[in-house]
Amino acid sequence: MSGPNSEYDPVEVTPLQAEHVAAARDEAIAAIAAAADLEALKQVRIAHTGDRSPLALANREIGALPPQARKEAGQRIGQARGAVNQALAARQEVLEAEHEERMLVEETVDVTLPTDRRRRGGRHPITLQSELIADIFVAMGWEIAEGPVVEAEWLNFDALNLGPDHPARTMQDTFWTEPAERHVVLRTQTSPVQARTMLTRTPPIYVACPGRVFRTDEYDATHSPMFHQVEGLVVDEGITMAHLKGSLDHLASQLFGAGIDTRFRPSYFPFTEPSAEVDVRCFVCRGVDADSCRTCRGEGWIEWGGCGVVNPRVLVACGVDPERYSGFAFGMGIDRSFMFRHNLEDLRPLFEGDVRFSAAFGTEI
């Protein structure tokens, strides 16, 4: 702390002379300008604004001056220090900017390096296809029904108008569980879910049933002992084949693209009467110049599934009044739909668990 000092000779103090102050200021500003980096600037700051700096020392002398001179000298020193601080701040900003720019350049990385530090997962494409189909039905206000794969023979066959001597039973080569007298099978179709739905609910019924089904087919490029089906069932008042056509056309357009519709051909299923095969319009060639089309093999149409009006015998066995209600049902292969939708000719990759296969589809299809 400096202040009036009795021993001090109250004469003009040299460091406070204007030219000295100006010189100290100019010297400081020159040093600031000369500072090449932030470290140098720090030294300059200590040298020219620190406690031992000329201007700081000069400032100490102010107290010794008479009031008038003190005021003038104070202003002089203050202006000089202001100019120095301003120069320092400006230089600081410039050097910081330079420093940052240099740092950023130095920190450049090769952003093309691999970044896969975590495994990528994926869901099975058949799961995804099933969910996509379920979503289409849910969007129509339908519900998704489910049932067990190990099923009662009565629900898989008899309730569906497939009595024990029905020739169509041999069309579905069935896995039987031991002993056969227990009448328990691996379901050959998801239709028992339809029967279960009718047995446990009252119409209106609008359900789709996706799931695994089993047939004793040897495993090859186009057959598998296990595959996936989706069936639909509607039971309501006044249901007609036109509603069946409308539902399948909608499913086809949602799954394969706008404008893709279906074609019915008379067929035979014990569960339905009248029955029809459903072909879906080829979504690749749309039937135009089909001859060279690999997807539909020149047909313009792709066999997709079966459908029909629920046989009143089935309604009776499942406790639905056939005088009041009518219904329709349909079924198609999910694997098969996936295969032609995604151009897969051999179904075996679906069941062989090569992680590269599922991973290729990620979590959406």
- 31 vs 43: CA distance, rounded Å: 10
Region binding other proteins by CB under 8 A among candidate stretches 3-11, 42-50, 89-97, 175-183 = 175-183
277 binds other proteins, rule: CB under 8 A:
yes
Region binding other proteins by CB under 8 A among candidate stretches 2-10, 21-29, 66-74, 145-153 = 145-153
161 binds other proteins, rule: CB under 8 A:
yes
15 binds other proteins, rule: CB under 8 A:
no
The answer to whether 306 and 278 are in contact (CB under 8 A) is yes
Q: What residues numbered 278-317 form the site for other proteins, per CB under 8 A?
A: 309, 311-313, 316-317
- Tokens 């309604």, residue located: 315
- Report, in Å, the least distance between residue 284 CB and other proteins: 21
Among other proteins, Zn ion, none, the one that 284 touches (CB under a kind-dependent 5 to 8 A) is Zn ion
- Helix (H), strand (E) at residue 71: helix 67-106
319 binds other proteins, rule: CB under 8 A:
yes
- 246 vs 232: CA distance, rounded Å: 13
Among Zn ion, other proteins, none, the one that 67 touches (CB under a kind-dependent 5 to 8 A) is none
Region binding Zn ion by CB under 5 A among candidate stretches 7-15, 204-212, 240-248, 274-282 = 274-282
Tell me which DSSP letter residue 303 carries. Answer: E
Q: x/- site string to Zn ion, residues 287 to 316, per CB under 5 A?
A: ---x--x-xx--------------------
- Tokens 């390096």, residue located: 113
How far apart are the two ends of the chain, measured CA to CA in Å?
80
CA angle 92, 93, 94 (to 5 degrees): 95
- Report, in Å, the least distance between residue 341 CB and Zn ion: 13
Please list, in sequence order, all residues whose beta carbon lies within 8 angstroms of the beta carbon of residue 151, skipping any fewer than 6 positions away. Answer: 184, 185, 186, 187, 192
Region binding other proteins by CB under 8 A among candidate stretches 29-37, 42-50, 171-179, 283-291 = 171-179
- Report, in Å, the least distance between residue 278 CB and other proteins: 10
- 315 vs 317: CA distance, rounded Å: 6
Q: By rule CB under 5 A, what count of residues binds Zn ion? A: 7
Please count the other Cβ atoms lying within 10 Å of the Cβ belonging to residue 286: 15
The answer to whether 288 and 266 are in contact (CB under 8 A) is no
Residues near Zn ion, by CB under 5 A: 282, 284-285, 290, 293, 295-296
